[in-house]
Amino acid sequence: MSFIRYKKIGNKEYAYEVTSYYDKVKKAPAQKSKYLGQVVNRERKEFIRPGNVNMKHEKLILDFGDSYFLIKFMEKRMKDVYDFALKNNVLPLMLYRILGKTSMRRAGIWYEGNIARYLASGDMISQRISELLVKFGEESTLRDFYKMYLTQPEEGISIDTTALPNQIDLEMTQWGYSSETMDEEIKLILVMDRKRNRPLYFRYIPGNIMDVSTLSATNSEMEKLGIKPGLSIMDAGFFSENNIRSMMDKKIDFLMRAPANRTIYHDLVESAADIENPEKAVKYGNRIMFISSSKTEFADHTVFTHLILDPERRGRELRRYMLKHMDDYDPFAVKRKGFMVLMSSQSIERDQLIPLYYTRQFVEKAYSFSRDDLSLLPLRVHGEEALRGYLFIIFLSLIVYMEVQKEIGSVEMAFDTLRNLKCKVFDKEIVIQELTRDQKKLFEKIGVMVSNTMGI
């Protein structure tokens, strides 16, 4: 009769086959043992046999470089976001989105073949993902994050909305007008910290609510979270007497574009006879623009208007318009080409006006990253609770993505390079394959040295 006896010496464990027998000489039961080797796995009775000390049981080969890079970046640069994602079991989903993957239904397949299964806890079965999104989207979780994450924007914010077309059966999904088309959609509102060029806050609304109606509630929610917007920069969609009156009453500074269909725009363009006076010229990069600023009364308050002419843009727009309307042109439509009207709560120096307004492009870029790089669309969730959790995942992923982009430039190219770095997983150890020169450079940029092995 035989059995296996285990002995632990230091950090290593050894196995011996023990056989019981009857000693005829001593006329008593006895035992003899046979050395089997160093233990690799007790349950499967796997041992490193004598003479084969370098052999280990290889379990699988996984994608390593891309997820490991993101995890180490977050640990070093964004510990607050990293800890929050880890605590709430959403780190794998964030990695999946940042790495440009598609349907959440395929997250489990990706997870099985990626080092994230060992470095980021989570349940990536499709049903479990849906349950996780619902739990993660709870208002208490959002507030916990904002309490930890939000800081006062030192140089103000940019606010913008984007449409999320979808066919989900939700009360939020309503017919809305955007980009000159009607579609069933939800609208996403994003607030950016202008100085840090970092997403600050998000909310979503039904698709049939106009942008102009969302500003007051957005400012109120941020105020409840302890955020004072500072200078708010917005596009024409938020322009209205009520919004301007509300911001002036609350002493929220703003810079906002006036729509071309408003009387104030029409009047300023009509009075622009001497706009191309060299004294009104301002250099913006390699372009020259002409700016005429004045003080006026609007929405029961004193505000500042800025009429801006971009001659280069005027030439392009005028050419396109006249090619189409040579025989039936509108004189005012011709006159307004190349003009833009901005309104502000405070006086702004002319040479600062254009650079300041165009910082709102950061929020447009954030939307572009969300759609093109984080696969925000199409929406495939069911139920508003899951939708909120999904948008929260996108929001966190966007924060990380934009920070990575600031540091290494082309994120997509970097991840393509890092994805080729593989690892082999053994029972107690992970062996990382040799790094290429480009892979080493990427890790060096974030101050990370990749060792040859790591424990499980």
Q: For 396-405, what is the mean pLDDT?
A: 93
Percent of the chain exceeding pLDDT 90 equals 54
24 and 76 housed in the same domain: no
134 and 68 housed in the same domain: yes
Phi and psi based region of residue 27 (left: phi greater than 0; alpha: psi -120 to 50; beta: remaining) = left
Give SS3 for 196. coil
What is residue 55's predicted lDDT score, i.e. its pLDDT?
Answer: 43
Task: Decide if 407 is inside a domain.
Answer: yes
pLDDT at 70 over 80: yes
What is residue 106's predicted lDDT score, i.e. its pLDDT?
Answer: 80
Report the amino acid identity of residue 451.
S
65 and 133 housed in the same domain: yes
pLDDT at 363 over 90: no
49 and 67 housed in the same domain: no
What is residue 43's predicted lDDT score, i.e. its pLDDT?
Answer: 67
Q: For 52-79, what is the mean pLDDT?
A: 81
Peptide bond into 153 cis (omega under 30): no
Q: How many H helices and E strands in the chain?
A: 17, 18
Task: Determine which of 123-137, 182-196, 318-332, 424-438 has the lowest per-residue pLDDT on average.
Answer: 123-137
pLDDT at 214 over 60: yes
Task: Answer for the pair 423, 61: CB distance below 8 angstroms, yes or no.
Answer: yes
pLDDT at 439 over 70: yes
68 and 48 housed in the same domain: no
What is residue 456's predicted lDDT score, i.e. its pLDDT?
Answer: 77
Task: Decide if 291 is inside a domain.
Answer: no
Percent of the chain exceeding pLDDT 70 equals 90
How far apart are the C-alpha atoms of 391 and 140, rounded to whole Å?
15
132 and 81 housed in the same domain: yes
The angle that helices 241-249 and 215-224 make with each other, rounded to 10 degrees, is 20
Provide the whole-model pTM.
0.80
Report the amino acid identity of residue 30.
A
Band of pLDDT at residue 59, cut at 50, 70 and 90: low
What is residue 250's predicted lDDT score, i.e. its pLDDT?
Answer: 92
Q: For 51-63, what is the mean pLDDT?
A: 62
What is residue 54's predicted lDDT score, i.e. its pLDDT?
Answer: 47
pLDDT at 52 over 60: no
What is residue 252's predicted lDDT score, i.e. its pLDDT?
Answer: 93
Band of pLDDT at residue 57, cut at 50, 70 and 90: very low
Domain boundary among 55, 75, 94: 55
39 and 68 housed in the same domain: no
DSSP 155: T
What is residue 415's predicted lDDT score, i.e. its pLDDT?
Answer: 92
CA distances from 450 to 99, 139, 420, 431, 455 (A): 20, 39, 15, 11, 13
pLDDT digits (tens, 9 = 90+) for 132-149: 889 999 999 999 999 999
Q: What is the chain's mean pLDDT, rounded?
A: 87
pLDDT at 4 over 60: yes
Q: Which of 11, 3, 16, 13 is nearest to 40 (CA)?
A: 13
Task: Decide if 209 is inside a domain.
Answer: no
pLDDT digits (tens, 9 = 90+) for 325-362: 988 999 888 999 999 999 999 999 999 999 999 888 87
What is residue 378's predicted lDDT score, i.e. its pLDDT?
Answer: 66
46 and 65 housed in the same domain: no
Q: Copy the structure tokens of residue 154.
A: 């030192």
Task: Decide if 51 is inside a domain.
Answer: yes
pLDDT at 382 over 80: no
Q: Copy the structure tokens of residue 24.
A: 């005829």
Q: Copy the structure tokens of residue 174.
A: 């309503």
Task: Decide if 75 is inside a domain.
Answer: yes
Give SS3 for 179. coil
pLDDT at 209 over 90: no
How far apart are the C-alpha atoms of 221 and 215, rounded to whole Å?
10
What is residue 285's predicted lDDT score, i.e. its pLDDT?
Answer: 87
Greatest Cα-to-Cα distance within the chain, rounded to the nearest angstrom: 124
**How much is the CA Rg of the chain, to the nearest whole Å?**
31
What is residue 53's predicted lDDT score, i.e. its pLDDT?
Answer: 46
Task: Decide if 245 is inside a domain.
Answer: no
103 and 84 housed in the same domain: yes
What is the number of structural domains in the chain? 2
Task: Decide if 433 is inside a domain.
Answer: yes
Task: Decide if 40 is inside a domain.
Answer: yes
Q: Which domain holds residue 37?
A: 2-55
413 and 429 housed in the same domain: yes
pLDDT at 225 over 60: yes
What is residue 423's predicted lDDT score, i.e. its pLDDT?
Answer: 94
How far apart are the C-alpha atoms of 113 and 374, rounded to whole Å?
20
Q: For 280-285, what is the mean pLDDT?
A: 91
